[in-house]
Amino acid sequence: MKLGTGTIFKAIRVFFGVFMILVYFGMAYLLYINFFKWETEPWYTLRYVFGTIFAIYGIYRCYRQIKGTDYYRLKDLEDRNKE
């Protein structure tokens, strides 16, 4: 079996992708509810900015996970192994 072409590697990549999506949405949620107690003015604005960035990137990662575009490296590797 070639490295990175087995089903266990694909399962690990799916698990890691879903885990990272949860991390991004979780971090956005924690920033929105002021979990870190950032009360002063510059941090008050930045927590909403960074919370929005985390949420948008979480949506983008979710889209890539569902669409399957995270696996381009594995497809390239499989194509090289066929040659």
The span from the CA of 48 to the CA of 36, in Å, is: 12
Provide the residue ranges of all domains of the chain, joining segments of one domain with +: 22-82
Q: Report pTM.
A: 0.75
pLDDT in tens, the chain (83 residues): 455 567 788 888 889 999 999 999 999 999 999 998 888 888 888 999 999 999 999 999 999 999 877 665 655 556 666 65
Q: What is the pLDDT of residue 1?
A: 47
Taking 3-state DSSP, the helix, strand and coil percentages for the chain, each rounded to the nearest 5, stand at: 80, 0, 20
Report whether 1 contacts 81 (CB < 8 A): no
